[in-house]
């Protein structure tokens, strides 16, 4: 859901893409994004592209033809990273886990020290599974062998801590929807000084894309303000206001709100006798994946919610098609009121498909809120 204030911001008059006011907006966006990413990076921008465009920017700029590109693969968007790496003619190495599982620090470190890649990528917040991968060990080991690290933060940014600098990430990207509470169309993107040094001094081949060339973009968003492309002004207004909403709430308060509502939702799911797909300790704070109970049609449940209440939840795809529900409680929807409403109607929809809950989801969630 889009924050109401963001809709208001999108109605403001549009200026030119080289107007000084526009660059005031981009500078404010940079400051706000750095806070959300947890970094002091000089190069932080909102790419005029969706999250997949941010992914392609990362791969195109920091993965060279013939280089070794190691991907920690445990979901759909790891597969997309793999495809992009192949198209850059890299030597792609995949370290596999079942969808929704993650690696022990020992497994991650051993793989990197064994393969000695040039670039490592992992999906910190896997949208297809609801799984969070902590990248600290990945980054530490990658830096030992001189590799750069790309982290996909698409679902998490704005809803839970990324801690870019503390983790040691080199390149990260996200999207303007989901945790940011804005419409899709921009991809927050940040690069460490270490990665920028590699790009400007050590990369041997020409960057194969003009539009996503970070060096050209730095001349547009940076000091020179040299024309590069016609930026979507209204989308920048939206992101600027979305970041203002986050700043007004405070990052820690916002993170705590998402964490608390996630916990209440999970308590309700488990009280009904359902299971979560992702193990405790590795779950996202704003996207949950309960398993579809045996004998229950996920499409039937979803159709009941949409037809009766206008509530949309998604099903699994890829390896998880028909096996999980994908349910987002993020931004403006991550509230006690909305969580309890969703649990009530979700339980109703499950019952309509023949599921018999062991206990009330709503009462279990209320107990979590009362104890918080």
Residue 171: C-alpha distances to residues 59, 77, 204, 250 (Å): 10, 16, 19, 25
pLDDT of residue 372: 83
> Helix or strand or coil: residue 229?
coil
> Helix or strand or coil: residue 132?
strand
d(CA 155, CA 126): 7
Q: CA dihedral defined by 329, 335, 338, 343, rounded to 10 degrees? A: 70
d(CA 330, CA 346): 17
d(CA 248, CA 254): 10
CA neighbor of 291 nearest in space, from 355, 352, 231, 240: 355
CB 78 within 8 A of CB 103: no
By the 10 Å C-beta count (0-12 exposed, 13-18 middle, 19+ buried), 367 is classed as middle
d(CA 201, CA 217): 17
By the 10 Å C-beta count (0-12 exposed, 13-18 middle, 19+ buried), 136 is classed as middle
pLDDT of residue 48: 98
Contacts of 283 (CB under 8 A, 6+ apart): 130, 131, 132, 262, 266, 276
CB 320 within 8 A of CB 99: yes
d(CA 120, CA 134): 14
d(CA 111, CA 327): 32
What is the set of domains in the chain, with CATH numbers?
A: 4-248 (3.40.640.10), 251-371 (3.90.1150.10)
pLDDT of residue 61: 98
Q: How many CA atoms lie within 13 A of 271 on its CB side?
A: 20
Q: What are phi and psi of 324, to 5 degrees?
A: -140, 160
Write out the chain's pLDDT in tens, 372 residues: 999 999 999 999 999 999 999 999 999 999 999 999 999 999 999 999 999 999 999 999 999 999 999 999 999 999 999 999 999 999 999 999 999 999 999 999 999 999 999 999 999 999 999 999 999 999 999 999 999 999 999 999 999 999 999 999 999 999 999 999 999 999 999 999 999 999 999 999 999 999 999 999 999 999 889 999 999 999 999 999 999 999 999 999 999 999 999 999 999 999 999 999 999 999 999 999 999 999 999 999 999 999 999 999 999 999 999 999 999 999 999 999 999 999 999 999 999 999 999 999 999 999 999 998
pLDDT of residue 223: 83
């Amino acid at each position: 859901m889009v924050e109401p204030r963001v809709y208001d911001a999108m109605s403001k008059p549009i200026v030119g893409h080289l107007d000084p006011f526009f660059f005031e907006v981009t500078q404010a966006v940079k400051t706000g994004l750095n806070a959300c990413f947890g970094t002091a990076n000089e190069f932080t921008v909102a790419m005029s592209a969706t999250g997949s465009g941010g992914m392609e920017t990362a791969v195109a700029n920091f993965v060279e033809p013939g280089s070794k590109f190691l991907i920690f693969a445990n979901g759909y968007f790891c597969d997309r990273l793999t495809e992009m790496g192949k198209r850059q003619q890299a030597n792609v190495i995949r370290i596999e886990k079942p969808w929704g599982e993650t690696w022990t620090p020992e497994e991650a470190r051993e793989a990197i020290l064994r393969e000695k890649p040039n670039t490592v990528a992992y999906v910190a917040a896997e949208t297809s599974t609801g799984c969070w991968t902590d990248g600290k060990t990945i980054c530490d080991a990658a830096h030992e062998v001189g590799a750069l690290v790309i982290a996909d933060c698409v679902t998490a940014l704005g809803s839970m801590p990324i801690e870019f600098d503390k983790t040691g990430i080199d390149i990260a990207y996200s999207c303007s929807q989901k945790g940011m509470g804005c419409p899709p169309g921009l991809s927050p993107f940040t690069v460490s000084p270490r990665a920028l040094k590699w790009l400007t001094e050590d990369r041997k081949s020409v960057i194969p894309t003009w539009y996503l060339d970070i060096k050209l973009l730095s001349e547009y968003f940076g000091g020179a303000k040299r024309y590069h492309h016609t930026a979507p002004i209204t989308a920048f207004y939206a992101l600027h206001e979305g970041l203002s909403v986050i700043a007004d709430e405070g990052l820690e308060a916002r993170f705590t709100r998402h964490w608390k509502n996630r916990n209440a939702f999970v308590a309700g799911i488990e009280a009904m006798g359902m299971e979560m797909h992702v193990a405790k300790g590795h779950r996202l704070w704003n996207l949950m994946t309960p398993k579809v109970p045996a004998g229950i049609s996920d499409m039937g449940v979803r159709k009941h919610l949409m037809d009766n209440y206008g509530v949309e939840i998604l099903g699994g795809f890829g390896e998880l098609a028909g096996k999980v529900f994908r349910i987002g409680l993020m931004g403006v929807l991550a509230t006690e009121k909305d969580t309890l409403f969703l649990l009530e109607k979700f339980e109703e929809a499950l019952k309509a498909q023949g599921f018999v809950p062991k206990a009330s989801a709503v009462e279990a969630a209320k107990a979590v809120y009362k104890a918080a």
